[in-house]
Structure 1
Amino acid sequence: MNEHNSLSAWQISEAGFPRSGTPEQQLKFLLRYAILAPSTHNSQPWRFRITGAMLDLFADYERSLPIADPKDRELLISCGAALFNLRTAMNYFGCVGEARPFPDPRRPEIMARVTLDTLRSQDSGWPELFKAITRRCTNRGPFAPEAAPPGLDEAMREAAHVEGAWLATFESARSKETVGFLVAKGDRIQFDKPEFRRELASWLHSPRDNDGLPAYAKGAHELLGFTTPAVAFLVRTFDFGNGIAARDKELATGSPLLACLGTARDTPLEWLNAGQALQRVLLIATAHDFHASFLNQPIEVAQLRPALGALSGHKGYPQILLRIGRGAPAKHTPRRPLEEVLVNGASTA
């Protein structure tokens, strides 16, 4: 598949919503927004099954990251982000329904079940968030020193709270320096492990592919920004931890705002909720023309997570660390075609 087609998922016409179509047709259209959610290494670890007016969301464990994410915590967060996009699109197009997390205790692989009941007579609901779905783009480049506008941090905290999470922000130079130190330490610990480097290298893909991190996304960092096969070889073979740690610390301390999103507990349900909170926060930032990217190293490295939690001032568990600001325009990453994430029948195999 060429690069143009791998990015075509981001080009959705609202006029295409089948208002007079069947619930199945409507759900299939709404899923085009769900699959635009972010995921670690752009792994897109979700699958969906539509049965009439009902949709089930499954985690795709074949796309798990056993080294960076051994408990599948970030995988479920990604599924939660996709679920929030789906909910947002439902609200915007006037779909009345219900989204239930983990609806069947006998089927824990079903992350959520969404049902459509009816349509409101007019489009309504969450227009600011909806319009931001196709605009949102992870930006791994440096941000301008421009401060966040008044009220943005409070709006993001409220967005996290609505979805059952908390959000702590770091704006002072001292607090960002401390967080940046943890990020850099996490980089050095992770890149010291050959198995971590091999896993990362396996997700450095060509822009023609439908998943993974193309070189232009800076997923391999500018220090490694050559052709994708060369990047993958270098990542697998050499420990670039010190250089990447220095760059990530600079990105953290140079960002106008750092934000840690967390939850009261550390369970699959909380991870799914954290994903919904994350996507609501990201869409709020996007609606204010601010970018975000992830610095999750202090959470992925277990021994650093309590220190980040203490800095946040909240009880509970950090789940995601964001840097937020305005940078040069960034390019979307590819997405798998909708047909590839749809499954049929009673099994997700």
Structure 2
Amino acid sequence: MHAAETRLSREAITRLIGAAVLAPSPHNSQPWIFRVRGRCIGVIADRTRALPANDPDDRELTLSCGCALFNLRVAAAHAQLGTQVHGPSGACDPDCLARLEILPDAAPDAALAALHDAMAERRTYRKTFAARPVAPAALDALVAAATSEQAWLHVLQGDSQRRMAAELIAEGDDAQWADPAWRRELAAWMHPRRRGDGLVLPDLAVPLAQAVVRTFDIGHGVAARDVQLADASPVLAVLGTRGDDLASRVDAGQALQRTLLTACRHGLQASFLNQPIEVAPLRMRLLQAIGQTGYPQMLLRLGHAENHLSATPRRPLDDVIEFVPEGSPDGGC
């Protein structure tokens, strides 16, 4: 990219952000805003879309923004743009989690560019996986993907680790569903597809589903189903970090997305059984069960999908992009 071309067009910026929003988020809440100033894109936490019952300290919100940041890096590399990430600055805007700077003279990262097509192919696959083992080479690639983004990925080994994880998943389900505030929050994020966000249901089913979820504690039934999903999954894995501060959580999000896209390139899909991490008393028990040090951030199940799923909807890009004049105060982003 030549010096005369350092200013990206709005169309080019919008394409990059169109890839960023393909990132996963809890309840498909899409809790991000992208603040564009010159050749920098700030990733901003949109806390109006937070989930205080499910995610009281915005940990998963921050991970989701880290996933979106990683997608920005992939899209930029695919567009032959070099980049540099600037982490949380602690400056005026506490919601500014990171900035991606386009570097006109830097070479694009070919390894990132190779993940581009996987962004659109990735799905959160909540069904039972095919009864096919995952190749050891694919597992090695997933571990390497997480490690390259300052995280670790522990693949659960043996019946004892998998059984303990399943028990913690069931405990987490029971605890969450027993909480009326958690159920109300879940119901509030059940939306028809036309809304562009949330947990998508057919239009006519939304009111009934919301009423059932708000009213009834069905934790035991959900737990039984989730244990079956865990038991039938070819791979269960925990992604974690050495620290648990804001920067570590952004790193965890980037590592998660790199792992998910790498899985997709190997013909795999994933979904999350993160209840043992969302329910605080269970988090360290999960860590002890897998014999790791640090902080678990996500519990994943991976395997070969048996069905193709439609992509979940996304909000209009105009709702998530802010173009800011270059001369204005940046507030840290």
Question: Contact 1:215–1:227 at 8 Å: present in 2 too?
Answer: yes
- CA shift for structure 1 position 215: 2.7
Distance 1:236 1:62, change over 3 A: same
Alignment of 1:1-349 (within 5 A): 22-25=7-10, 26-118=12-104, 124-215=110-201, 227-327=205-305, 328-345=307-324
Task: Give the 3-state SS of the residue equivalent to 1:159 in structure 2.
Answer: helix
- CA shift for structure 1 position 104: 4.9
Question: Contact 1:84–1:280 at 8 Å: present in 2 too?
Answer: yes
Task: Give the 3-state SS of the residue equivalent to 1:205 in structure 2.
Answer: strand
- CA shift for structure 1 position 150: 2.0
Q: Which moved more, 1:304-313 or 1:122-131?
A: 122-131
Distance 1:188 1:104, change over 3 A: closer
- Which amino acid is 1:107 matched to? D
Task: Give the 3-state SS of the residue equivalent to 1:211 in structure 2.
Answer: coil
Task: Give the 3-state SS of the residue equivalent to 2:195 in structure 1.
Answer: coil
Alpha-carbon distance in 2 for matches of 1:139, 1:254? 13
- CA shift for structure 1 position 171: 4.5
Alpha-carbon distance in 2 for matches of 1:122, 1:318? 31
Alpha-carbon distance in 1 for matches of 2:107, 2:159? 50
Question: Contact 1:92–1:125 at 8 Å: present in 2 too?
Answer: no
Q: String of CA shifts for 1:164-213, please: whole Å, max 9, x gaps.
A: 11111114333222211110110001000100000000111101111001
Question: Contact 1:262–1:317 at 8 Å: present in 2 too?
Answer: yes
Q: CA RMSD in A?
A: 2.2
TM-score (norm 2): 0.91
Alpha-carbon distance in 2 for matches of 1:215, 1:71? 28
Alpha-carbon distance in 1 for matches of 2:205, 2:102? 45
Q: What fraction of aligned residue pairs are identical, expressed as a percent?
A: 42
Question: Contact 1:94–1:119 at 8 Å: present in 2 too?
Answer: no
Question: Contact 2:77–2:108 at 8 Å: present in 1 too?
Answer: no
Alpha-carbon distance in 1 for matches of 2:113, 2:65? 22
Alpha-carbon distance in 2 for matches of 1:123, 1:188? 44
Instruction: Give the structure 2 partner of residue 5 of structure 1.
Output: none
Runs (5+) with no aligned partner, structure 2? none
Alpha-carbon distance in 2 for matches of 1:188, 1:75? 23
TM-score (norm 1): 0.87
Task: Give the 3-state SS of the residue equivalent to 1:47 in structure 2.
Answer: strand
Q: String of CA shifts for 1:57-112, please: whole Å, max 9, x gaps.
A: 10000000101100000000000000000011111221023111113533322111
- Which amino acid is 1:342 matched to? I
- CA shift for structure 1 position 22: 4.1
Question: Contact 1:171–1:257 at 8 Å: present in 2 too?
Answer: no
- Equivalenced residue count is 322
Question: Contact 2:73–2:112 at 8 Å: present in 1 too?
Answer: no
Question: Contact 1:293–1:324 at 8 Å: present in 2 too?
Answer: yes
- CA shift for structure 1 position 125: 4.4
